[in-house]
A and B are shown apart, each in its own frame.
Chain A
Amino acid sequence: QKEVEQNSGPLSVPEGAIASLNCTYSDRGSQSFFWYRQYSGKSPELIMSIYSNGDKEDGRFTAQLNKASQYVSLLIRDSQPSDSATYLCAVNKAGNNRKLIWGLGTSLAVNP
């Protein structure tokens, strides 16, 4: 089992729809969870961080964390073509705050 797993996609949604991105992780000791967006040829850009169970909302983005199920998700409401990118889930390595374990990323395409 990979330490952090994401569906590779591509995930295709129409403009204005809700895009749902999922991530599971294997280490129960992980405490910090991050979603980064990466456009082709660019560097990762932090979208959301979440540390406690439940939902965290920021504009059109909502992160959801369920530590019991070892699951973290990102919802993008009112998806725009500019949201088309690869979304990377990253989880801190338990016992080492300095190290992130990365998923392989989910490619999202928002169709006008």
Chain B
Amino acid sequence: DTEVTQTPKHLVMGMTNKKSLKCEQHMGHRAMYWYKQKAKKPPELMFVYSYEKLSINESVPSRFSPECPNSSLLNLHLHALQPEDSALYLCASCPGTGNTDTQYFGPGTRLTVL
């Protein structure tokens, strides 16, 4: 089973709202990722957690705040977003134990900021 789940599927929020995106995997993977993807562009890496510790932060604005409560869960807290933050937000996981790790993606959350 290579399933990564994400909730919600769609989210509409105002610029003053606070919301969270959730990601879960039960494959025993030890690395989890957040990506942002705009239309007709490849995924853009935001954060990587490895063994529940933040290992990569691609200079993402502080209005995006990641959290990894345990090895199966990954959250992305959103606050004071801008309309240009509207995008497909993708979670991915990989085993995190080897040199040839494959990333598996969840279905994504389509975020619209009004």
Are B42 and A105 neighbours in the complex by a CB distance under 8 Å? yes
7 residue pairs, one from A and one from B, having the closest CB atoms: A102-B42, A43-B105, A43-B108, A32-B100, A98-B48, A44-B105, A51-B100
Say if the beta carbon of A74 comes within 8 Å of chain B: no
Q: Complex Cα distance A34/B105, Å?
A: 13
Can you list 9 residue pairs at the A/B interface with Cβ under 8 Å? Answer: A43-B88, A49-B102, A88-B43, A90-B42, A98-B31, A98-B55, A98-B96, A99-B45, A103-B42
Which residues of chain A come closer than 8 Å to B66, judged between CB atoms?
A: none
Inter-chain contact A43/B101, CB cutoff 8 Å: no
B30 CB to nearest chain A CB (Å): 11
Bound: A94/B50 CA distance, A: 18
Query: Contact at B108–A42, with CB atoms within 8 Å?
Result: yes
Residues of A within 8 A of B40 (CB): 105
- Residues on B with C-beta less than 8 A from A99 are 45, 48, 56
A residues contacting B by CB (< 8 A) are: 31-32, 34, 36, 41-46, 49, 51, 88, 90, 92, 97-100, 102-105
Q: Are A46 and B42 in contact (CB under 8 A)?
A: no
B interface residues, Cβ below 8 angstroms from A: 2, 31, 33, 40-43, 45, 48, 50, 55-56, 88, 90, 94, 96, 98-108, 110
Give the residues in chain A near B31, CB-CB below 8 Å. Answer: 98
Which residues of A have CB within 8 Å of B110? 41
- Cα distance A94–B17 when bound, in Å? 39
B101–A44 contact, CB under 8 A?
no
Give CA–CA (A104, B39) in the complex, Å: 11
**Set of chain A residues within 8 Å of B48, measured between Cβ atoms:** 98-99
Chain B residues within an 8 Å CB radius of A92 = 100
Contact B101 A97 (CB under 8 A): yes
**Min C-beta distance of B104 to chain A, whole Å:** 6
* Closest A residue to B91 using CB positions: A43
Give the residues in chain B near A98, CB-CB below 8 Å.
31, 33, 48, 50, 55-56, 94, 96, 101
Shortest CB-to-CB span from B58 to chain A, Å, is: 9
